[in-house]
Structure formats: structure tokens, C-alpha cells
Amino acid sequence: MMSLVVLLIIPCANARHLSEADVVALEKQCKAAEAPIFARIRQKQLVECQELESKNRGDSATCAERVKDVRPGGHVVLNPPLPICEEAFNAREHYRLNPK
């Protein structure tokens, strides 16, 4: 039980106060870092869908609609998250708990 208490206190001791602008800047850096990764995933899924639809004589035009959610905040999650995104998430949580 003592180790649990210590683990809960340590992050608070090392936390620094963040402004809303700091948090927004980190979130923008995260989105910029994730954008090329999601673009590659989206392109790969689009090509796979178009190949499958052409083999099945389906409508490959619908593939663009199917992969539109491949984006940050969409249905694909990067695991593990990029370090800057993890930092942005933690900053947002810290700011919610300690607004100025």
C-alpha cells in the first residue's frame, strides 16, 4: 500500500503548471507528427480496398469513403502512441486538473 501512495505523489511533485497555449502547442505538434503516419495507413488501406473491389467487381469509388476515418481521433489508434502525443495527452490531463 505504501508503494501505491508514493507512486501517486511522485507525478504531482514533478508536475509543472502549463498554460492553455502550452497544451495547444503540444497537441499541434502531435497532430503534425501523426499526419504522415496516418496518410500512409490511409493510402495502404485505400489500395487494398480498391484491389479487393476490382476483384469482386464492386464499386472501388466507395473505398475513399471507407478510409476517411483513418486519421488522428478516428478509428485507427497508434499503439504505442508517439512520445510527443503521449506528452500532449498528459499535458491536457494535467491542465484539466490544474487550470490557471
Residue 1 has pLDDT above 60, yes or no: no
pLDDT value, residue 71: 77
Residue 3 has pLDDT above 90, yes or no: no
User: 20-55 and 83-97 are packed helices; what angle lies between their axes, rounded to 10 degrees?
Assistant: 130
The answer to the question of residue 5 being in a domain is no
10 pLDDT band, cuts 50/70/90, is very low
The answer to the question of residue 65 being in a domain is yes
The proportion of the chain whose per-residue pLDDT surpasses 70, expressed as a percent, equals 81
Residue 75 has pLDDT above 80, yes or no: no
The answer to the question of residue 36 being in a domain is yes
The answer to the question of residue 6 being in a domain is no
What are 45-74's pLDDT values in tens digits? 999 998 988 888 777 778 888 888 787 767
Q: Higher model confidence: residue 31 or residue 56?
A: 31
Which CA distances in Å does 84 have to 1, 9, 78, 93? 32, 24, 12, 14
The answer to the question of residue 10 being in a domain is no
Residue 11 has pLDDT above 60, yes or no: no
Instruction: Provide the domain count of the chain.
Output: 1
